[in-house]
Amino acid sequence: MPKLFSRSLAEEIRKRAHQFPILAVTGPRQSGKTTLLKSLFPDHVYVSLENPDIRSFAEDDPNGFLQRYPGQAILDEVQRVPALFSYLQTAVDESGQMGQYILSGSQNFHLLKNITQTLAGRVALFRLLPLDHDEMEQAGILPGTYAEACIQGGYPAIFHRGISPADFYENYIRTYIEKDVTELVNIRDTQSFRTFLGLCAGRTGQLLNLNAMANECNISQPTAKAWLSILQSSYLVFLLYPYHENFNKRLVKTPKLYFYDTGLVSYLLEIREKSEILTNRLKGNIFENLVVSNFMKINEHRYLHRHYYFWQDHNGLEVDLLRKTADAFEAYEIKATQTLTSDLFKGLHHFAEIAKPATVHLHLVYGSQESLTRSNTDVQGWNACFP
Q: Could you read off the pLDDT of 316-342 as tens digits, one per residue?
A: 889 999 999 998 999 999 999 999 999
- Both 108 and 139 in one domain: the answer is no
> In degrees, to the nearest 5, what angle opens at C-alpha 243 toward C-alphas 240 and 247?
155
pLDDT of 2 reads 44
The span from the CA of 114 to the CA of 377, in Å, is 45
Question: Is residue 300 in some structural domain?
Answer: no
- Both 219 and 100 in one domain: the answer is no
- DSSP-based three-state secondary structure for 160: helix
Residue 220: exposed, middle, or buried by beta-carbon count in 10 A (0-12, 13-18, 19+)?
A: exposed
Q: What digits encode the pLDDT tens for the residues 204-216?
A: 999 999 999 999 9
User: Last residue of a domain, which of 98, 127, 156?
Assistant: 127
The span from the CA of 74 to the CA of 17, in Å, is 12
β partners of residue 105: 26
The span from the CA of 343 to the CA of 346, in Å, is 5
Could you tell me the pLDDT band of residue 51, with boundaries at 50, 70 and 90? very high
- Both 219 and 283 in one domain: the answer is yes
Could you tell me the pLDDT band of residue 244, with boundaries at 50, 70 and 90? confident
Question: What beta strand segments (E) does the chain contain?
Answer: 22-26, 45-48, 73-76, 101-105, 123-127, 206-207, 237-240, 256-259, 309-312, 318-324, 328-334, 359-366, 372-374, 377-381
- DSSP-based three-state secondary structure for 232: helix
Which of the residue ranges 97-101, 210-214, 265-269, 382-386 would you say has the lowest mean pLDDT? 382-386
Report yes or no: 322 and 308 within 8 Å, Cβ to Cβ: yes
pLDDT of 113 reads 75
Could you tell me the pLDDT band of residue 386, with boundaries at 50, 70 and 90? low
- Both 95 and 21 in one domain: the answer is yes
- Both 186 and 225 in one domain: the answer is yes
Percent of the chain with pLDDT over 70: 96
Q: What digits encode the pLDDT tens for the residues 246-286?
A: 766 678 889 999 999 999 999 999 999 999 999 999 999 99
- Both 213 and 342 in one domain: the answer is no
- Both 281 and 331 in one domain: the answer is no
Could you tell me the pLDDT band of residue 138, with boundaries at 50, 70 and 90? very high
Report yes or no: 232 and 259 within 8 Å, Cβ to Cβ: no
The span from the CA of 261 to the CA of 130, in Å, is 7
- Both 189 and 109 in one domain: the answer is no
Cis amide leading into 255 (omega within 30): no
User: Last residue of a domain, which of 76, 101, 127?
Assistant: 127
Report yes or no: 260 and 233 within 8 Å, Cβ to Cβ: no
Amino acid at 6: S
User: Last residue of a domain, which of 127, 149, 166?
Assistant: 127
- Both 144 and 285 in one domain: the answer is yes
Domain residue limits at 324: 309-381
pLDDT of 282 reads 97
Question: Is residue 4 in some structural domain?
Answer: no
What CATH number is associated with residue 121? 3.40.50.300
- Both 332 and 202 in one domain: the answer is no
- Both 161 and 235 in one domain: the answer is yes
Number of domains in the chain: 3
Q: Is the pLDDT of residue 58 over 80?
A: yes
- Both 146 and 82 in one domain: the answer is no
pLDDT of 65 reads 95
Q: What digits encode the pLDDT tens for the residues 170-187?
A: 999 988 877 777 777 777
Rounded mean pLDDT of the chain? 91
Kindly report the number of other CB atoms within 10 A of residue 304's CB atom: 12
Could you tell me the pLDDT band of residue 362, with boundaries at 50, 70 and 90? very high
Question: Is residue 87 in some structural domain?
Answer: yes
